[in-house]
Every structure is written in C-alpha cells, then in structure tokens.
C-alpha cells in the first residue's frame, strides 16, 4: 500500500473517529459471543480487528474518494443499526424444515480454502429457485452467511495463516440456467445491492463455470456495463473449471460440481456431506448450530422465536438497475413471447 493510499486511509479514519453512538458501537463492537471456530473473542463485527483493511475496502468501492467513502460507510453503519444486523446471527430461521427448504433453494456453501487461505464459496446460480420461502428469509439467510464469514470464517483463517485475510473466492455454477431466471432478477438485485453497499470488496475473484449459451449471450451485453474494477475480478472458465481452479486450490477444496467434467447437476452429489449446499455439510451444520447457540444465549429461558428477520430492502443503485434491465431484456429475446414477461411481478416481498 503506497504512501498516498495510507494518507487517504488516515483521512477516512479521522472522520470515522468522530461518529457518534450507536454507529461507533456497531463499527467497533467487540464480539462477546464467538464459537470455538472463531479466531478470537475480539473479532469486530465490521472490521474483524483490521480497521485499515476495512477502510481500504470502502475507499476502493468509491475510487479512493474520501467524502464518498465516508458517506458509504456511514450509510452502511446506519443500515446495520436500523436493521439490528449485529444481532442477526442470533435469529435462527426455523423450524428446521423451513431452513432446509431455504438451503435447498438458495444454493451456496463453503467448499474449502484456496492455497493462499481465502475461503472458497460455491454458488449454484443456475439451479437456485428461491421458491420455498418469502424474500425476507432468503435475504436473512444471505446476510447471516455474510456475517458468519466476516465474524468467524475470515478471522479464523487470519489466525491460521498469520496475516489479515479479509476476502474470499466465489465459484459460480451456471448449470441449469434457464429463462425462468427472469423471476429471480428482482431478488438477486436486492441481494447484490446489499452486498455492494454494505460488504464492498469482499470477493477477490469470481470464477464462473458450466456456462450455457444463454449466459454467454447475457455476459456479452452485461460486461461493458460493469466497472473496470469488477470486470477484472470475473473469470469465465471452460467446462467445469477444474484444471484452472486446481492452480489456486487443492482438489479437496473444489466445489463438488467442479470435480469431474460432465458431473451433472450441482444441486446434488453422491455424498451429501461433500455437497457444500446441503444442510448436512459441515459448514452449514456449524453455521446452523452457531446461530442456535447465539439465540439461546440471548434468550436462555424463553423459547427461541421463529419467523423471518425483516431487513429494509434497499433501492438498487443505478448501475445495478441498468444491469438488471439489460439481463431482463436479453432473456426476453430468448423467451420469444412465451408468457414470461410478467414473471418479475410474481415475487412476494412482504409476506412470510
């Protein structure tokens, strides 16, 4: 990090030092309850104990413009306070049958770590249906995985490797991507907006695998709309991407859908414990048990309350809106007037 960058970070730090409670509490909140898989009990909710790296993330997201980065960080802290994000890991999605349904329709999991120690998250973009629960449950689940990554997974990796590890790698599986993806654009835009505004620069590289023609066509028109910083992070790999991914991770960390060419659906694998999407996978078991433990510590006597944890759904940023409209338009070209034009309106937002 150059001298100029360090000076800009100092300027932003000076501004953040002036924020009032409860924003400062959310930014500097020491973890009182961290499971045995966490790195240490002082991991911070927002900056994981690495405030310099955290400030750099927000500065990168705003092209190193201090006033813009300052506003972005303040807005994010306000979002955390207003939506009680610091408590979201004590809000289980239940009963278990509902949480399993969410996991079976929102395909994401931790498959392992790169050779540099970065967590590898696998995401089944093409086969995620988001049709087993309300939008609020899927948003809650997404934020919980983000927070568990930031409060537990990344601090643990930092301790293991003896250096700050503040980003992850994502492998996006496009197996099964169809025109029905139109019905998911609104939800995916909400989720990506939450990430863009509150978890910026947390992904080091996006590897896209098992690419069908429909994705290739959409990617051609979407790629020019992305910021150069984002475009550089995206790598579209041939086939299942196994050979390229083995350059950055061991075989054991490969997502199950990358292990063999033509391995088929990314929703299932021969062994449920190898399928990192499954609730039976050790990552999701650890996450699920962690959330239940935190809930019981907050409410040791009263029964744990179930129900979705409602988070204010953000308005998409201009870039995200343009990208969503472009994807929708491109998918409609494939639809050829087959009655899918109204599918975006069928997404339930307010009902559990």
* In contact, 110 and 118? CB cutoff 8 Å: no
Alpha-carbon distance values, 102 to 99, 185, 187, 199, 279 (Å): 5, 17, 14, 22, 10
Structure tokens belonging to residue 236: 């579209």
- Residue 66, sorted as left (phi over 0), alpha (psi -120 to 50) or beta, turns out to be alpha
324-330 long-range CB contacts below 8 Å, 24 or more apart? 324/185, 324/186, 324/188, 324/189, 326/218, 326/221, 326/222, 326/225, 327/185, 327/218, 327/222, 328/182, 328/185, 330/217, 330/218, 330/221, 330/222
Where in the chain is CATH 3.40.525.10?
96-294
The pLDDT value given to residue 199: 96
Task: Kindly give, in sequence order, each residue whose CB lies less than 8 Å from that of residue 6, ignoring residues fewer than 6 positions away.
Answer: none
- Edge-to-edge strands, sheet with 203-209: 108-113, 119-124, 168-173, 203-209, 234-236
Q: What is the CATH number of domain 96-294?
A: 3.40.525.10
Encode pLDDT of 263-290 as tens digits: 444 555 544 448 999 999 999 999 999 9
The pLDDT value given to residue 264: 47
Query: Is the CATH number of domain 3-82 1.10.760?
Result: no
The pLDDT value given to residue 42: 31
The pLDDT value given to residue 10: 93
d(CA 161, CA 118): 10
Of 337, 327, 338, the residue nearest 214 (C-alpha): 327
Task: Kindly give, in sequence order, each residue whose CB lies less than 8 Å from that of residue 4, ignoring residues fewer than 6 positions away.
Answer: none
Whole-model pTM: value is 0.85
* Average model confidence (pLDDT) across the chain: 83
The pLDDT value given to residue 258: 96
Where in the chain is CATH 1.10.8?
3-82
List, for the chain, all residue ranges whose pLDDT scores fall below the cut of 70: 1-2, 4, 28-48, 180-182, 261-273, 299-308, 316-320, 331, 334-352
The pLDDT value given to residue 305: 54
């Amino acid at each position: 990090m150059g001298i100029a960058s360090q000076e800009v970070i100092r300027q932003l730090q000076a501004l953040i030092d002036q924020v009032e409670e409860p924003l400062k509490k959310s930014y500097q909140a020491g973890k009182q309850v961290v499971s045995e898989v966490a790195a240490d009990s002082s991991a911070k909710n927002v900056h994981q104990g690495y405030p310099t790296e955290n400030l750099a993330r927000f500065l990168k997201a705003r092209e190193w413009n201090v006033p813009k980065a300052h506003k972005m960080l303040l807005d994010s802290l306000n979002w955390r306070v207003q939506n009680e994000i610091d408590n979201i890991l004590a809000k289980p999605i239940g009963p278990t049958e509902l949480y399993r349904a969410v996991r079976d329709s929102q395909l994401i999991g931790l498959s392992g770590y790169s050779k540099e120690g970065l967590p590898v998250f696998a995401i089944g973009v093409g086969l995620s249906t988001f049709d087993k629960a309300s939008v609020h449950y899927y948003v809650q689940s997404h934020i919980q995985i983000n927070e568990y990554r930031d409060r537990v997974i990344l601090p643990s990796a930092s301790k293991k490797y003896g250096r700050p590890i503040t980003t992850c790698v994502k492998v996006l599986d496009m197996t099964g991507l169809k025109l029905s993806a139109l019905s998911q654009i609104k939800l995916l835009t909400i989720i990506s907006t939450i990430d863009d505004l509150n978890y910026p620069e947390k992904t080091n590289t996006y590897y896209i695998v098992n690419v069908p023609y429909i994705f290739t066509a959409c990617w051609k028109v979407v790629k020019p709309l992305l910021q150069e910083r984002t475009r550089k992070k995206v790598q579209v790999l041939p086939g299942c991407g196994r050979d390229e991914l083995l350059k950055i991770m061991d075989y054991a960390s490969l997502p199950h859908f990358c292990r063999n060419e033509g391995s088929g659906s990314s929703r299932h694998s021969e062994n449920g414990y190898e399928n990192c999407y499954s609730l039976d996978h050790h990552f999701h078991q650890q996450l699920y048990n962690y959330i239940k433990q935190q809930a019981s510590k907050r409410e040791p006597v009263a029964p744990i309350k179930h129900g979705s944890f409602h988070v204010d759904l953000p308005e998409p940023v201009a870039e995200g809106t343009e990208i969503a409209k472009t994807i929708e338009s491109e998918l409609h070209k494939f639809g050829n007037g087959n009655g899918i034009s109204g599918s975006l309106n069928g997404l339930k937002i307010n009902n559990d």
